[in-house]
Amino acid sequence: MDLQFTPEELAFRDEVRSFLKAELPEQMAHKVRNGLQLSKQDMEQWHAILNQRGWLANHWPEQYGGPGWGAVQKFIFEHECALAGTPRIVPFGLSMLGPVLIKYGSEEQKSYWLPRILNGADWWCQGYSEPGSGSDLASVKTTAVRDGEHYIVNGQKTWTTLGQHANMIFCLVRTNREVKAQQGISFLLVDMNTPGVEVRPIITLDGEHEVNEVFFTDVKVPVANLVGEENKGWTYAKYLLTYERTNIAGVGFSVAGLEKLKLVADRVQCNGKPLSKDPLFAARLAKVEIDLENMKTTNLRVIAAVAGGGVPGAESSMLKIKGTEIRQELLSLLRRAMGPYAAPFIEEAMQAGYDQSPIGDEAAATAAAQYFNYRKLSIFGGSNEIQKNIISKMILGL
Ligand SMILES: Cc1cc2nc3c(=O)[nH]c(=O)nc-3n(C[C@H](O)[C@H](O)[C@H](O)COP(=O)(O)OP(=O)(O)OC[C@H]3O[C@@H](n4cnc5c(N)ncnc54)[C@H](O)[C@@H]3O)c2cc1C
């Protein structure tokens, strides 16, 4: 196992860096680095820039528009993007539905929907979770009843991220109630402009409107929008989740977060000296840095195994747990470093240009909101407790 990049991989890294330097708008990177709100337009613009370069669907096969990269190139690209402060690509169409359609969709579905994901014609959201069906996803209750050439859908989805921007939602629906839960689920594509679809906002702890509830009342969905076979949706759902957990360690985000934290801790004064020199704070800082270094090595080890033809097993779950714990600890320390300036929630603080902090940049103002927002990391994509169950089953056989 070789954890060093080859000369070709280093050349690729330089190519990615040059591209980011030339194409990533500074105003966008400034927003990302300081945890400021990204508009729908920002997200669409970055999507279009990557699509133009042919690097948007970097995990799709070349025949559908992927660049033909291997695991190491994907890792380098995502790492460099995080360091440069690119917006996160909205994953629902590109990273979740796309791979499912490529593997299980009909030729008509592939040729219609995949180009629309790439050119941004559709904004997809994910209709998996329901009240009472999160970790226990197989218990979904939203029903789809066949009526001629349509399904009639009734029920409710929840926690639908960015559903307020979406025109399409992929849903897990119950098509058979008589069989074991997993065997009666189908995977359906629903146009959100169909009569009977209603989106209601959920405002989270940080004051943001990021997630929603989506209600379906007698919604007519063409049978052509069924992916794969009726009642086989659980297989497709699980396949999608493996993509949801890809690159979940987010090493690049943590490296960028650590840099920012160190900068702030050097500037803030504590008993007449920089906070970074305070023994208690310095000890926590050192611990998270060591954890991050260890996780980087583990992540590279997994990438090397995948590049050599292996399949990540329990390692994805380990990386999810450790990666999210590190990101949450970094934000907790950042908030601690800001002290009282990070205590109140100030709505205007999320807008670019706000500056009331003693640190002299917008980072202080968003520290509290970001701290609260990133509590979600250990919940979505399969909560960290569920990941521990997976590890115990796969490694310990419990
Ligand atoms: C910000 C955010 C965005 C989201 N976006 C989306 C989205 O776009 N689309 C979508 O479909 N869903 C989305 N989700 C939903 C997310 O996938 C679920 O919240 C998650 O699966 C947990 O389900 P739950 O909220 O129902 O909690 P529950 O499943 O009720 O879990 C509650 C607690 O019990 C623990 N627990 C549950 N079962 C077990 C067990 N067997 N063993 C040990 N501990 C257990 C959990 O770890 C958790 O701590 C989002 C969630 C959040 C917070």
Interval between CA 382 and ligand 1 midpoint (Å): 6
Interval between CA 386 and ligand 1 midpoint (Å): 9
pLDDT at 16: 98
Which atom of ligand 1 is closest in space to residue 128's alpha carbon? 11
Which atom of ligand 1 is closest in space to residue 133's alpha carbon? 26
Q: H helices of 168-278, where?
A: 233-244, 251-267
Fold type of domain 7-101 = Butyryl-Coa Dehydrogenase, subunit A; domain 1 (1.10.540)
Interval between CA 202 and ligand 1 midpoint (Å): 15
Query: What is the per-residue pLDDT across 1-19, written as a single tens digit (0 to 9) for each?
Result: 456 889 999 999 999 999 9
pLDDT at 308: 75
**Contact 121/112 with Cβ under 8 angstroms?**
no
Query: What is the per-residue pLDDT across 257-270, written as a single tens digit (0 to 9) for each?
Result: 999 899 889 988 88
pLDDT at 364: 65
The whole-angstrom separation of Cα 225 and Cα 194 is 13
Interval between CA 374 and ligand 1 midpoint (Å): 14
Mutate which of 210, 211, 238, 383 for ligand 1 pocket (most atoms within 8 A of beta carbon): 383
The whole-angstrom separation of Cα 346 and Cα 318 is 35
Residues of the chain with CATH 2.40.110.10: 123-232
- Residue matched to tokens 């500056």: 355
How far CA 323 is from CA of 201, 240, 377, 382, in Å, comes to 29, 20, 9, 14
Which atom of ligand 1 is closest in space to residue 135's alpha carbon? 29
Assigned architecture for domain 250-396: Up-down Bundle (1.20)
Which atom of ligand 1 is closest in space to residue 132's alpha carbon? 26
Residues of the chain with CATH 1.10.540.10: 7-101
Range with the poorest average pLDDT among 48-52, 123-127, 138-142, 390-394: 390-394
Residue nearest to atom 22 of ligand 1 (CA): 134
> Is 320 a residue whose pLDDT tops 60?
yes
Residue nearest to atom 4 of ligand 1 (CA): 159
Query: 148, 129, 145: which is closest to 137 by C-alpha?
Result: 129
Our answer on whether the CB atom of 385 is closer than 6 Å to any ligand 1 atom is yes
- Sign of the CA dihedral with 116 first, then 118, 123, and 129 last: positive
| Average pLDDT, integer, range 40-67 | 96
Confidence band of 75 (pLDDT split at 50, 70, 90): confident
217 vs 31, higher pLDDT: 217
Average pLDDT, the chain: 90
Residue nearest to atom 41 of ligand 1 (CA): 386
Query: What is the per-residue pLDDT across 195-246, written as a single tens digit (0 to 9) for each?
Result: 999 999 999 888 889 999 999 999 999 999 999 999 999 999 988 877 666 6
| Average pLDDT, integer, range 147-157 | 98
> pTM of this prediction?
0.91
> Is 358 a residue whose pLDDT tops 70?
no
**Contact 202/213 with Cβ under 8 angstroms?**
yes
Residues of the chain with CATH 1.20.140.10: 250-396
Which atom of ligand 1 is closest in space to residue 162's alpha carbon? 8
Domain 123-232 has CATH 2.40.110.10: yes
Our answer on whether the CB atom of 142 is closer than 6 Å to any ligand 1 atom is no
**Contact 207/369 with Cβ under 8 angstroms?**
yes
Our answer on whether the CB atom of 320 is closer than 6 Å to any ligand 1 atom is no
Interval between CA 383 and ligand 1 midpoint (Å): 6
> Is 348 a residue whose pLDDT tops 80?
no
Our answer on whether the CB atom of 383 is closer than 6 Å to any ligand 1 atom is yes
User: What percent of the chain shows pLDDT beyond 70?
Assistant: 91
